[in-house]
A = this chain, B = another copy of it.
Amino acid sequence: MSNSQDNFFNVCLRGASQVFFMENALTGVLFILAIAYASFAAGAWATTIGAVLGLIVATLTALLMGTDDKSIKSGLFGFNGILVGVALPTFIASSPTLWFAIIIGAALSTVITATAAATITKSWGIPGSTGPFVLTGWLMVAAAYAFGALEVTGDSAKEITDYLAGSASIPSLPELIAIFFKNIGQVFLLGNAVSGAIILAGIFVASRPAGLAAALGSLVALVCAICMRADPASVSQGLFGFSPVLTAMAVGVVFLNTSAKVVIYALLATIVTVFIQASYDVLMAPLGLPSFTAPYVLTMYLFIAPKKFMAPHPHKSVEKHLLHGN
């Protein structure tokens, strides 16, 4: 890390930007600003402090483990850590043990990132993406239920029958616009439309096609969730949109080369993600765990793996998003 561009500070900022597949320090600054804005609006700063702590610990762990230098510099070991750092304070009450849990969780997310690279990425070209965050988040929040020293606040076990009913209601235009941006903000677990707008701006700073895919993914998810009559409270919080946003970006722009066929494929993947979001909501309710970005992760794994079966679709662009040196 001799280059001044590659100092620890910039590497961490790139790590933040990689949550949306970008490798751009300015985008990272905007993403952290979006988290800070939501903290400011809510008057609670634990998520912002957690984000910074998780980002630093995850990146440091990668350095100490002696993993591939190029991957570290690209920020590929930071983005799962920042998500762990935002997620744990969202679901666990603030306390000294919470910060200990974030440190352990962020370090674990780096170990799992390296494992994903050495297994599914190496053998099958499937990027680990935010899978390590999802697994870490589930393990840590579930552990918090069993530990007296960690208090779960943000969620609770529900009966599966709570989901048996849905209702038909179409939100007003201002509501629809707010949902459009919350769908993007919720990738960072932020139910805040302004934060979502800042994040979308951050994506456009780094890549216009990626920004466009994010916007279209949010729109498709919005329409699909309302037509299928998903729980209006969840829809209005952006909870049916954040995974589809990531799917639209990943399948439509980031991991496959955009073409007419790929756009249709990404549209199918985006709709499938809305269905899988609904599945996860039902299946995880009895466990009292949020689904995090798992619906995106499962969809993306399933839709990216068969790329060798799709000879006409070039997919070189995936290379730079994979961990190197394995």
Query: Which residues of A does B touch, CB under 8 Å?
Result: 64-68, 97, 101, 104, 107-108, 111-112, 114-115, 117-120, 122-124, 126, 138-140, 142-143, 145-150, 152, 157, 159-161, 163-168, 227-231, 261, 264-265, 268, 271-272, 275-276, 278-283, 286-288, 301-303, 305-313, 325-326
Contact = CB atoms under 8 A, between A and B. Distances in A.
B278 A146 contact: yes
Contacts of A271: 104
Contacts of A112: 302
28 contacts: A64-B264, A65-B306, A66-B312, A66-B313, A68-B309, A97-B228, A104-B272, A104-B275, A114-B306, A114-B310, A115-B302, A117-B306, A119-B123, A119-B124, A140-B275, A142-B283, A143-B282, A145-B164, A145-B278, A146-B230, A146-B281, A146-B282, A147-B230, A148-B165, A150-B228, A157-B160, A308-B325, A308-B326
Given A114-B309, A272-B108, A302-B115, A146 B66 contact: no
Query: How many of these chains are in the complex?
Result: 3
A249 B260 CA distance: 42
